[in-house]
Amino acid sequence: MRAMSAGSITDVAGLLCGHFTDTRRPTGCTVVIAPEGAVGGVDVRGAAPGTRETDLLSPLNSVDVVHAVMLAGGSAFGLDASAGAMCWLEERGIGVQAGPVRVPIVASAILFDLMMGDPSIRPDAAAGYAACVAAGTDAPAEGSVGAGTGAACGKLFGIERGMKSGIGCASITLHGVTVAAMVAVNATGDVVDPSTGRIVAGVRSDDGRTIVGGARAILDGQLPRHLQIAAATTLGIVATDAALTKLDANRLARIAHDGLARSIVPVHTPVDGDTVFALATGKANASLPPTVMGVLAVEVTARAVLRAVQAATPVSGAGVPSLPCARDLPL
């Protein structure tokens, strides 16, 4: 039985996905909802993370179910989007029973997009609620939407030499088990196609016409200027319909970072807060060995990164840097 590639995060049975894209400036949020709950895990890399409920996902802690994962722009302010998801889930009676109420478990992480227009505009509870209203089982849009609206990559030598990025998905189904990923790429580093080594989007030359690559420029003797702390961050969700324990889910989130390392150079820098969540719905009537699951998780994560930049489209507005997309520059 051959693997079938391409697809989206909603190819995993038991998951919904929705975006909210702010029309006032390039920012937004994206939610993945597990209405019946999913076993969750997380792995945080880089030195500038912004997260919520990640401690709860540790195998050492009691609650092993997640009802939603929210990815948002707006830096730390964007964590407010989780409150909207909490409200939407509570209205539908979804959550962990805690005395007289059900408490929805919403894990979240944010990326820094405050250089894209008016920084006082950022995802809030209303934005998070709107993303939930929009959520469904259809394949979500990719590119400059939701949490990827204000995303950029190749910022090692400043955002003005970077390129527009976005959010992307991929999935693989093998022997009755689906593994999928969704990644919002807002990286300091360049995005590289692992199959060819070619830089798809990244640091551009001084005249902005060609891609030179940050790591390549450093090896040629150039040094980047001082980078702003928390000025980037790539966020991902890797999901499966296989049944996993909480420990297994955390291991899957950990190994999925290898997919980021294959497709983003450099990755996990001091100015990135790269975070990957894992969700397991247990809907499949099949299972795969952990090593095989890891191989699939790495592959779909790398593919989702590529799709995030390939699907990106230009954004504009007052104070928004003019950044080209991968489709705009010659190979």
Distance from C-alpha of 127 to C-alpha of 118, rounded to nearest angstrom: 16
Q: What is the pLDDT of residue 225?
A: 76
CATH for 111: 3.60.70.12
Which residue matches tokens 């969540």? 277
In a domain, 331, yes or no: no
Indicate whether 204 pLDDT > 70: yes
Per-chain mean pLDDT for the chain: 94
Kindly state the average pLDDT of the residues 91-105: 96
Reported as a single tens digit per residue, the pLDDT across 42-72 is: 999 988 999 999 999 999 999 989 999 999 9
In a domain, 273, yes or no: yes
In a domain, 213, yes or no: yes
In a domain, 39, yes or no: yes
Contact predicate 167/143, CB 8 Å: yes
Reported as a single tens digit per residue, the pLDDT across 5-19 is: 479 999 999 999 999
In a domain, 4, yes or no: no
Indicate whether 27 pLDDT > 60: yes
Measuring CA to CA, which residue among 128, 151, 174 is closest to residue 33? Answer: 128
In a domain, 272, yes or no: yes
- Cross-strand pairs, 65: 39
In a domain, 173, yes or no: yes
Q: What is the pLDDT of residue 331?
A: 55
Indicate the pairing of strand 101-103 with strand 167-174.
unpaired
- Total residues found in the chain within this entry: 331
Domain count of the fold of the chain: 1
Range of the domain at 53: 9-325
Q: What is the pLDDT of residue 231?
A: 84
Q: What is the pLDDT of residue 275?
A: 98
Q: Name which residue leads in pLDDT, 137 or 228.
A: 137
In a domain, 35, yes or no: yes
Two tokens, residue 33 = 């909802």
Confidence of residue 230 (pLDDT cuts 50, 70, 90): low
Indicate whether 308 pLDDT > 80: yes
Count the neighbouring beta carbons within 10 Å of the beta carbon of residue 99: 6
Distance from C-alpha of 247 to C-alpha of 290, rounded to nearest angstrom: 11
pTM for the predicted model, two decimal places? 0.96
Kindly state the average pLDDT of the residues 283-303: 97
Phi, psi of 9, rounded to the nearest 5 degrees:
-65, -30
